[in-house]
A and B are shown apart, each in its own frame.
Chain A
Amino acid sequence: MFAWPFALTRSFHVDPYRPHCLSVIVQTASGAIHGEDSLAQRLLLGPGTAVCLTNQGATSVHRAAPGARATETVTLDVASGASLEYLPEPRILFPDAALSQTMELDCATDAHALIFDAFTMHDPLREGRYFRELESTFRLRKSGGEPLLIERTRICHPDRSLFRGYGAFGSAFMALPLGHDLADLHGALTTALEQMRGLYGAVSASPAQAGLGIRLAALELRCIRQAFEAVRRIYRRTLPSSLTKFRSEDPSTSGWAHVDPT
């Protein structure tokens, strides 16, 4: 189910590492977020489902009138034994943009999830103007319990010195069931990130051993994308074969998902 400005069409074979799998691309008719937009998406993954969800491209966030701000809420429920890759393209924040985004992830204790979130700034007239406000909240629960992780960023009226010459910022989060060797994954991720130029980043264990968080600052957006690719490859190593070996022509083996952007 979907409503304007969102649209869901057929899925696509666009994943170079899993060419036999489909990617669901949530498209928007507006192609951008405007001053007073109020957007909501809800995604329910059934047991044993493996879903990769992305959008059509980097999303521009345009100026909001004084006192107004756009809001976006994404609710993700991942059932037992499922894997969700929620990989939206970065936000491009224009001068005077104001956005409040909230992402709620509720994972079954034996489910996997990978979440990306990133933004960059664009000042088309090169006047040294930045966005007005960005508030971003990511909240993780396991099987409906109390939040294990609440990452809340708030930036109001930033100036140039805040970004230290870096042009893009991002974070990734892997929710993993207990039993994974977090130290081994931490090492693999760190090694991958250390090899990338123009990137300042770190991996860290999340509260309650809920998974791993990756924080990134990059000179250019392409460095964030490069890092996300590496993170995605490593994440897929953690998945059980039941979530990676299914055949795309047999939907019963890949479970089901319900996407509800409204």
Chain B
Amino acid sequence: MLQLGDSAYPAGGFAFSWGLEGLAADGMLADRGELDRIIADQLERRWASMDRILLRQAFRAEDCAAVACVDRLAEAATPSAEMREGSRRAGRALLGVWVKLDGPLSVAYRGLVSSDGRLGHLAVVQAVVGRDAGLSQDAAELVSGWTLVTGLVSAAVRLGIIGHIEAQRSQEIARALLAELLAEAPPADALPASFTPFIDIAVSRGPLRHVRMFTT
């Protein structure tokens, strides 16, 4: 779990700001207070209600075909092309590392991902590599939520929105929220849903910006 949750894990997580860069460019993110609110929105209104649901479905999937079914749902349930592209890029990078580490499910699933451009979404791949790493479902969810938090905070530091000490404070707040969310299991029949309009719009407006540091 520590290995997968390590910011040095070579899956290219540093390339994604998940809307922070766009919100900052559009004047909607300028300080730590706003950052904390956006991280809370990401966790509560998107990760917990959508990514986590997809991850849990993929974690319980019987075989690669069933995992692919969840992956296609992730594709259909992500209206923004830029968000879909970002999710697939992040997922495929993560999968690629675990394929090189000879994870059997990862190797098998990569075969399907290579032949279908809709597959490879991050939440689904997090379930696949979590299973290969021998994690429990709870642990895989924790890694998923925590890597989102560290990725967002790290992006905010590189964008110059906060400094390193403030980053620790933001992580502390987000960690408490994540623990709160993880303490409550979603219903077994929960369907993926979200409401993060500002983040969705900021990510979708990415191609309008001439200079960008991040993919999303």
B 142-161 to A, binary, CB cutoff 8 A, 1 in contact else 0:
00000000000000000000
- Quick one: which of B45, B81, B197 contacts A205, CB cutoff 8 A? B81
- Contact status A202-B200, CB under 8 Å: yes
From A17-25, A37-45, A151-159, give the one contacting chain B.
Answer: A151-159
Interface contact tally, CB-CB below 8 A: 73
> B82 interface residue, CB < 8 Å from A?
yes
Q: Which residue of A lies closest to B194 (CB)?
A: A153
In the complex, what's the smallest C-beta–C-beta distance from B30 to chain A, in angstroms? Answer: 13
Residues of B contacting A: mostly: helix
- Contact status A215-B200, CB under 8 Å: yes
Q: Which residue of A lies closest to B205 (CB)?
A: A202
> B191 interface residue, CB < 8 Å from A?
yes
> B84 interface residue, CB < 8 Å from A?
yes
Bound Cα distance from A150 to B74, whole angstroms: 9
In the complex, what's the smallest C-beta–C-beta distance from B67 to chain A, in angstroms? Answer: 16
Interface size on B, residues (CB 8 A): 31
> A161 interface residue, CB < 8 Å from B?
yes
Q: What are the residues of chain A within 8 A of B192 when measuring CB–CB?
A: 152
Q: Which residue of B lies closest to A186 (CB)?
A: B207
Q: What are the residues of chain B within 8 A of A213 when measuring CB–CB?
A: 79-80
In the complex, what's the smallest C-beta–C-beta distance from A126 to chain B, in angstroms? Answer: 23
Interface size on A, residues (CB 8 A): 30
B170-216 with Cβ < 8 A to chain A: 191-195, 197-198, 200-202, 204-205, 208
A 240-259 to B, binary, CB cutoff 8 A, 1 in contact else 0:
00000000000000000000
Q: Which residue of A lies closest to B206 (CB)?
A: A202
Q: Which residues of B contact A (CB under 8 A)?
A: 26, 28, 37, 41, 45, 49, 72-73, 75-82, 84, 118, 191-195, 197-198, 200-202, 204-205, 208
